[in-house]
Amino acid sequence: MPKANETLLEIDLNALGDNYKYLTSKIKKNTKVMAVVKAFGYGSDAVAVAKELVHCGVTYFAVAYAGEGATLRNAGIQIPILVLHPLPTNFDLIVNSCLEPSIYSRKMLHDFIAYAEAKSQKEYPIHLKINTGLNRLGFKSEDISFIAEMLAETKSVKVRSVFSHLAASEDAAQREFTLRQIEAFRSISTTLTNALGYQTLLHTVNTSGIINFPEAQFDMVRTGIGLYGFGNDPRENQFLKPVATLKTVISQIHTIEAGENVGYNMGFNAKSRTRTATLPIGHADGISRAFGKGVGWVTIHGKKAPIVGNVCMDMIMVDVTNIDCEEGDEVEVFGENPTAEELALAIQSIPYELLTAVSQRIKRVICRK
């Protein structure tokens, strides 16, 4: 790749493909894969990611909201797309875009059946979300008879899958809780499919579940963060490659004398002569103010340059006193060094948050390294 001459996010499709191969090496041959491409493909480029994953052989996509699915459809993605959090106001968009809604409550089931019947739909695919302990969205076991009765009275919809979501599959200390979730899902899904009278796809494991609970693959697995290079475990991360690399450049270098300040509210006071570099990236681009005052850092020519003072909306300043650099030089904000996980840990966060915070005003560059 040529050196960056502006702030940009490189998206490495070869790394994406390698991550897909590694994750699918963990599953049985006939297990289907649902790739999660919500939130602009975890902050990258959902369309570019989805097209590459179609080529890799993914079976299903999952998005959070209907608009995300419509974007994929408009880009020519034809394979099934599950909308994890549909809203009644988006039923038109869902059906017009041939998206498949997750149905998670009695009201949602009632409302979507009524809509589907009004639109003369026949066996429109829906997915039933089961709550096994995350307590976010989903039916419980006591809802099974209601679901069966509602579906027996209509031909407008048909269940494509029954699924749940694990709350702590990456946490070894919560293994017993996860096993209880898996057993609850096994029990509820069996009762539910028996009540429906036909077999549906079953899925509950996420990226960490693929790695830690291979016995719970059922018919399909879902993977999001793993595709983008993070396995929620240092041992697994070594086999995965970060897909996104955030880069910027040095706009200006200053020499700050002892006693002088840098940035808003005099966020940094030099104790000795200091060289600082100003970079064109700030909290409007996803660099949290929590990274200010030395908490966060970037890498310049392989060396760590701590952030000095407060993070500005469009700029940060970093300490380059001990780095041989000049204006126009490339800066790595996160990628291989530091990784998004390393940087996120500095503010007690997770890579998901850092990746998805990257502003849409930052240029995306699709590459193959």
Mind telling me the catalytic residues?
A: 38, 264
Nearest to 245 by CA among 63, 36, 7, 46: 7
Going by their DSSP bridges, the two strands 32-36 and 220-223 should be labelled as parallel
User: In the numeric block, which tokens belong to residue 255?
Assistant: 């020499």
Residue 9 forms beta bridges with which residues?
246, 364
Burial of 329 (0-12, 13-18, 19+ CB in 10 A): middle
The set of long-range contacts for 102-110, using a CB threshold of 8 Å and a minimum separation of 24, is 102/126, 102/127, 102/128, 102/129, 102/137, 102/163, 103/127, 103/128, 103/129, 104/128, 104/129, 104/131, 104/137, 104/138, 104/139, 105/137, 105/139, 106/139, 106/143, 106/146, 109/146, 109/147, 109/150, 110/150
Provide the 8-state DSSP code for 130.
B
What's the Cα-to-Cα distance from 369 to each of 16, 184, 289, 322, 354, rounded to whole Å? 11, 43, 31, 30, 22
Contact 39, 358 (CB under 8 A): no
The runs of H, that is alpha helices, within the chain are: 13-24, 38-43, 46-56, 66-74, 91-96, 106-118, 144-152, 175-196, 207-212, 234-237, 340-345, 351-356
Contact 366, 48 (CB under 8 A): yes
